[in-house]
Every structure is written in structure tokens, then in C-alpha cells.
Structure 1
Amino acid sequence: MIRKDMPDKYFKTSEEQFDAVIQETVRRHKTGQPVLLIASLISDTEMLSKLLVQENIEHSVLNANNAFWEAEIIKEAGQKNVVTVATSMAGRGTDIHLGPGVKELGGLCVLGIGRMNNTRDERQARGRAGRQGEPGVSIFYTSLEDDVCTILGEDFLEKYIDKGRYISKRRIKKLINRSQKIKDESSVSQRKSSVDYDSVMKRQRTIMYKTRNDLLDGKSLDENVLIQIYKQNIDDYVKENKKMDDKTMYRYILDNLSYRLKELSVSSANKKEYLKQYADMAFKDKKQLLGNRFSEYCRLCTLKALDDGWIEEVDYLQQLQAAISGRSTAQRNLLYEYQREARLSFRDMEKSIKKAMIRNILLGEVSFGKDNEMIILYP
């Protein structure tokens, strides 16, 4: 590699920084050397464009606002006398080939504006020049007003920029380098944390998709298991509603077991058994109605319950991660808290799926379309 990576240039304010970049661009443009100005922010590319217009320098701007012309702009960026302004993300993956006579001028000149959040992005920006053994040069212009320096705090920046207190170039260099290092380490930590959090959802996803794929492959559900599920649902409901009156009991029947209601006076001690008998009756009626299609019907009802439950669980886990991340880290293991609450949520989801399964099976309304296809209207 014969590209020359020049030492970074450090400034206190962005005004000084942009002024130096434009001066360097004008100087190199006069020789005919192609210049590529790379900034992290779209707003910076627009500012550079305005300053270049003031210097009467023709140029192209490549950012998210005009990505349609990306290939054409990148294709011309290595030609003689061409000046291109781009964001660090724009045109990545495309080599910039040098035009006739450009090698003799030193190749493509990359001028980076602002310290980026990590060194990897900066290396990629520098790597736009000097591709495949061609010559090139790169210089980065940084200041205390770069986006990466916001971690220094508003009070610090106000003291040295707004109030104009003196600060040495050496200290500016130290502060900017430290800011980038902190941002870089923070990004690595966030990526690792993201992988750890995702592993929790991955375990749940594996369980859910295994069950779902079995059903899609035609695995039938054991009727005895379904009966156990609706009886357990009733046990749980009665346990949560120890002082259940007739009105509450009838509401449970209409919401979960049957739209046909038989009003009977049932003693408190017998309410649980009455509900189970009612469920048995509704289950037998549905089985008799569908005959040899009953197994298929139960499978489709279960798939619907699984899908609805999993959609809610994924949404909850995403919200939980955001909420956990926002908590204070003092003496807390946030990942452990997330794992614990995710486990509790998974158990709750299993219960809600079992309730939805039985509701779908007992309250679903069936019709048949073309080719005897089963159409289910779920409750």
C-alpha cells in the first residue's frame, strides 16, 4: 500500500475545522487532484457544499438525500478536477478508480471531517483512496465540536468554545482521542449486550418454532391432553376467583366455553365441577359437529393461539429490554433481571396460549370453502 495517511489536524471549534478543510480542498483542486470529503452527518455534507459554492468549486454531494445517483457519483470521484462530498456510509463497497493523469498528481485525496464514533469507520473512509496499490492521501480534521465529543459534557464545551478559554492543541488531541476511545468501547459493549439479550429470545424462539413446525407438519394433538388443559384452566380460574358468584361463573362460560347458556343455581362448592362438566359437553359437541375433521380443527386453533401469544411475547421482550436498559446500573445485574423477567413472561405466555387454545376450539365457528377448505372464525 502506497497511500499516505497524514496525521490528524486538531481544532477547538468547527468553524476553524471547516475553514481548514476548505482551504486544503481549494489548494489540491487547483492542481487537478480529485478530492473526496467525507463527513459523518448529512448536515455536515450540506455545510461543506455551501462553503464550496462560495469558493466557486464545482462538486457532487452524495448522501441519503440523493442516493439514487450514488453509482454515477462514485464512478466520477477519481477523475481529474472532481470534488465529491459524501457521508461515511455513502457509496461503500464501490471502488473509486483513478482517471488518466491522476496517479501523477498523488491519487485521490480523502479529507475526513470530524472524528467518527469508532476507528473502523475511519479506516474505511481512509481506504477510499489507495485501492489496489494505487497512490492516495488521507487527512482527518477534528474539533471539540465533533459529535463524538458530546460525552465531554455541555459545561466543558461551553467553557472552552462559547466562553473562548484557551486550550492547547495537545490537550484537544488528548480529549478527542479519549472521547473516541470511550465511544468505541461503548459500541463494543452494546454489541455484546445485544447478543446476550438476543440469546434469551433465541431460546424462547427455538421452543416456539419447534412446537409450531410440528403442528404445521400435521402432528395431531392428543385429545386427553386438550381435556387436561381446559380442566387446568378451570382450576386456575376458580383458584383466582374463590368468591365466585353465579354471574361471574356465567361470564366465564360465555367467554371461554360456550355461547349457549343454561342458567342453573349451583352451590359454591360445585361451581368448579359444574364448569368442567360444561366444558366436557362443549368439547363433545364440537367433536361431534366436525367428525373426522376435528383433529385438523384443533391443530389450526392451536396454531392461531401460538402465533398470537408469540407476537405479544416478542413485543413485550423488546419493550422489556428498553425498560431494563434505562434502569440505573448501581448494584444491579441488568442482564440477570432481563433473563428473570423474560422467564416469568414465558410462563405467563404459556398459560395465555393454553387459554386461547381452548377458547378457539370451543368458541370457534367453522365453515368450508372451495375444495372443502376449513375456514375458522375465531372468538
Structure 2
Amino acid sequence: MTGTAETEAEELGSIYGLDVTVIPTHRPIARDDRDDLVYKTKREKYNAAIEEITECHHQGQPVLVGTISVEVSELLARMLKRKNIPHNVLNAKQHKSEAEVVARAGQRGAVTIATNMAGRGTDIKLGEGIKELGGLHIIGTERHESRRIDLQLRGRSGRQGDPGSSRFYLSLEDDLMRLFSSDRVAAIMDRMGIEEGEVISAGMVTRAISNAQKKVEVRNFGIRKHLLEYDDVMNQQRQVVYDIRNQALSGENMQESVFQILDDFILDETDAQSAAGTPDLWDWDHLKQCFASHILVDASLEKIQNDTAKTDLTFEEICDWLVDEAKSVYKARESLLPEDVIRGFERFVMLRTIDDKWKDHLYAMDQLREGINLRAYGQKNPLLEYKSEGFKMFQEMMADMNSVTVQRLFRTQFQGMEQPQGRQQPSIRNVQTSHQDTTGMGFQGQPQGEQGNQPQQVRTPVQVEQKRGRNEKIMVQGPDGQQVQIKFKKLQNYLNKGYTQV
């Protein structure tokens, strides 16, 4: 629920699918929203605003001055100080006394200078006798790009049917005015003979400024919608990856997921060869090397023909044979390990691979996003190009993720699984060990005949050199024989250049 959503109804409806319903006020609004006053320069605008603040203060009417920045609020504070007008400044620098300043803002003769933060959720209570003086008077020193901010500032006055008034002071040097032909307006003012300090006040000017704000809002809405369309590409990809990751986190039995990844891997590899035509024309040397290094399956056309007793093989029959062989290898691998170990290992491999590949993909998509707008020079739609390139990169990432996952599941070697879990081997440091190459399912174990005949390792004391301070002076000798005195922290740099320590 908000009081200024009506101006953003189109954006809320088109992007978020939300309807905006306007609820009538409990009491009629009695606030007097006066026409804007337009000056040629900011100096004239600020002087006129100070004059009105002074007049309201002498009458006892409280005034709330809204600014767009802290710098402008401090400028107005200095101008009021020169006129000996007591005032309070409400910005981020006085956060400790903010509640006290707001509480006094509705008292007789109070002058409060505030940034946009005062326009959000601030309820200023009017003191005794203030309603007879016209209520709280709002002075805006500049129009914002969004009408919502201006409406929020106006809404601090005339609450719950109380009287109030508001007025904005503008100049042709304001950011919003400079965006929309302020030079032409200045030329018209010069031809009309408007002198320095003279003001333009007309409903037509106020409506023109409101239309300018609408144009800026439409432009900003287009920018946000464009960014959202780019974000949708990543959101769709993120949904796919996170579904797989959540399944790995929450699932107890990952065997079905492993077999699905195995099917996808085999299908990707064989599908890449199917473009060559019949299986006789496939690059079987590449397939044999790929499947042997990933899933430990010796795949050749002759072997498949002999096992299936068919010479005219189809694409589906080859894939089915490869999947059956890979599953039999994996099940044999599973039989050598406890159930909880293999399931935990599957979960670890999948999570590790997903995280690594997804991080690399995010970085690659960021690089693509930075330069995709240059495609517009080639008469191409950058958004469509981003979607197309992003989808190709996502397909490559998923295929690479399947390949690495399968290779890790089939090729990772487990060591020491034969030993009882309660027995721990003594840790020996600074000793290199070597193992025989495995010829089985990726396991290495020590031959039982050698376990009891190993000589006892002799632990020797570690010699530690004397520690030196970083700024301690030492001598080094260069290749030419010349000795140089340096600090110890620079020793490595000199050693890399060919010096030796003396």
C-alpha cells in the first residue's frame, strides 16, 4: 500500500502483473497546490524561495523546504542564517536529532529544510493555532524526474483534511528543465523583456513541466524494462541450474540423477557424430578415446556389431548399448564401496562440478553483456543476440558439466577403503610415497604381504633457520661480483635477478 502508486500503474501492470486501485481519502483534501514559479537562474530561484520562507516565518506559518541534495539544503541553511531566520536542517548528517526535528516541524514559525527523506513516511503534527494560519506550507526547490517524489513531498501537508499549501520554485538551469529545451524558453523570456528576478507563473508552464516528467518516467521505465528482459535470460538459466543443485542437496539417493547425467553425456557425444551420416562414417577413434577416458568403456563399431549381432545399427541401438555398458561398469564400481560412501561421493561430485561451471558461466555472461550493445552497429538487435549467444553458452556449459561429472564419478580413485575405520595410521611428515598404477575400478590398496614387513620410519628433528626481521640488513652478491646491502624483505627479488646471499 502506498500513496503515490497511481503514476506508476502502467509499469506495475506490465512488468509485475499488479493492478493499482485508488482508495478515496477519508476526508477531502484541503491543500492548496499552487502553480510553479519559473526563474532564469538558480540564484534568482533561491532568493525568491528565501523571501517566501521569511514571509511565512514572520506570519508564524511553519514551512517545510524540500531539496534534492544535501548540498542544496546546506546552501539554503547558510542563506537563512544570514537573514537570522531560525531553522532546522534534516538530512543524513543529523540522524540523531531527526525525530526531534520532525516533532517541531509543525510548530508556530518553524522552518525545516529537508532532503527527499522527509517525503517518505513522515507525519508532521500541527501545533495549536496553525490551522488558522493556513497549515503547513511546502516549498520545493526543484522538480524531480519522478512525479512520485514531488507528490510525496506535497503529501506532508494537508493530511487528514488539515489545511496546507505547496509551491515549487524552478529555474531554467535545473537538470529537468535543461533536458527539455530550456534554451528556447530562455530566448522567449528575453524577447518578452523579462528582467532579472522576474518570474513566470502560469498553469501552462506547470503542465509543460508535468509532461516533461512523464517523458522522463517513460524513458526510465523503458530502461528498467530493458534491463529486466536481459535479467530474464539469466533467471531462466539460473532456474535450471538451481533445480539440479537443490536436487543434489536434498536427495538421499542420487543414482537416478547420475544415470540421467550419464545418458545426457552419451547422447551429446553420439549426437555430435550423427551429423556425419551413418555409423560407418562416424569418427570412432574419437569416440573410443572419449568413452574410454570418461566411462571406462571400450567402444568400437566392430565390438558393438558383435555384441548386438547386427551390422546395420541405428543411432538408438548404439546409444542403448553404450548406456548399458556404462551402467554395468558403474554398478560394479558401486559394489566395491559401502552404500553411504558412494551416495555421499555422488552428491559431492555433482555439487562441486555445478558450482565450478556455474561460476565460470556467470563470468562469461557478464563479459558478453558488456559488449553485446555493439551488435547494434551491425543492424542487429542486441537483446536477441544476447539471448541467442547466452543459450549457446548455456548449452556448452551444461554439456561440459555433464562431461566433468561423469569423468569424476568413473575415474576418481579411492584409497585406503580396505582398512578398518577405527584404526588410524601414524602420520609421517616429509616422506614421499609412490603407488602402483591401478588396473581395476580406480582403487589403490597396499599389498597385504608388504604391510607387516615395512621398516620403521626414523623421525629426525627438523632444523629451523634463525628468523630474520623484514628490515634486517643483509649482503647479497651480484653476477658481476659486486656486493650490495639490502633489506631482508627484498631478498627474493634479488635472488630472482641472479644475486646470491653472502
Q: CA deviation at 1:54?
A: 1.8
Q: Partners of 1:86 and 1:205 in 2: how far apart? A: 43
Q: Partners of 2:293 and 2:388 in 1: how far apart? A: 37
SS in 2 for 1:84: strand
SS in 2 for 1:80: coil
- Whichever residue aligns with residue 236 of structure 2, its letter is R
Are 1:15 and 2:49 an aligned pair? no
Q: CA deviation at 1:118?
A: 1.9
> Where does 1:142-157 land on structure 2 (aligned, <5 Å)?
142-152=170-180
- Return the match for 1:184 from 217, 230, 239: 217
- Whichever residue aligns with residue 254 of structure 2, its letter is S
1:86 aligns with 114
- Return the match for 2:134 from 106, 117, 123: 106
- Whichever residue aligns with residue 34 of structure 2, its letter is M
- For residues 308-336 of structure 1, what are the alpha-carbon distances to aligned partners after superposition, in whole Å with 9 as ceiling and x for unaligned? 43344445545655544676589554432
Percent of aligned pairs sharing the same letter:
32
SS in 2 for 1:139: strand
* Change in 2 beyond 3 A, CA 1:68/1:367: farther
* Change in 2 beyond 3 A, CA 1:315/1:138: farther
Q: Partners of 1:129 and 1:360 in 2: how far apart? A: 68
Please say if residues 111 and 139 of structure 1, whose CA atoms lie closer than 8 Å, have aligned partners that are also in contact.
yes
Paired residues in the alignment total 338
- Return the match for 1:77 from 105, 111, 114: 105
Q: CA deviation at 1:198?
A: 3.2
Please say if residues 70 and 90 of structure 1, whose CA atoms lie closer than 8 Å, have aligned partners that are also in contact.
no
- Whichever residue aligns with residue 273 of structure 1, its letter is K
Are 1:220 and 2:254 an aligned pair? yes
2:226 aligns with 193
- Whichever residue aligns with residue 349 of structure 1, its letter is M
Q: CA deviation at 1:352?
A: 3.6
**Structure 1, gaps ≥5 residues long:** 239-267, 373-379
Please say if residues 60 and 108 of structure 2, whose CA atoms lie closer than 8 Å, have aligned partners that are also in contact.
yes
SS in 2 for 1:141: strand
Who wins on radius of gyration, i.e. which is larger? 2
* Change in 2 beyond 3 A, CA 1:74/1:279: same
Please say if residues 36 and 205 of structure 2, whose CA atoms lie closer than 8 Å, have aligned partners that are also in contact.
no
Q: Which runs of 4+ in 1 moved over 6 A?
A: 170-175, 232-238, 282-286, 364-368
SS in 2 for 1:81: coil
- Whichever residue aligns with residue 233 of structure 2, its letter is V
Are 1:304 and 2:325 an aligned pair? no
Q: TM-score, with normalisation over the residues of structure 1?
A: 0.73
> Where does 1:337-356 land on structure 2 (aligned, <5 Å)?
337-356=385-404
- For residues 120-156 of structure 1, what are the alpha-carbon distances to aligned partners after superposition, in whole Å with 9 as ceiling and x for unaligned? 2211111111111111110011112212234348xx7
* Change in 2 beyond 3 A, CA 1:226/1:208: closer
- For residues 204-257 of structure 1, what are the alpha-carbon distances to aligned partners after superposition, in whole Å with 9 as ceiling and x for unaligned? 23322322222222151444445456667888999xxxxxxxxxxxxxxxxxxx
Higher fraction of helix: 1
Are 1:138 and 2:186 an aligned pair? no
- For residues 286-306 of structure 1, what are the alpha-carbon distances to aligned partners after superposition, in whole Å with 9 as ceiling and x for unaligned? 857754221221222212322
What is the alpha-carbon root mean square deviation over aligned residues?
4.0
- Whichever residue aligns with residue 336 of structure 1, its letter is L
- Whichever residue aligns with residue 392 of structure 2, its letter is L
- Bigger relative CO (Cα 8 Å, ≥ 6 apart): 1
Q: CA deviation at 1:24?
A: 0.8
2:479 aligns with none
Q: CA deviation at 1:4?
A: 0.7
Please say if residues 234 and 276 of structure 1, whose CA atoms lie closer than 8 Å, have aligned partners that are also in contact.
no
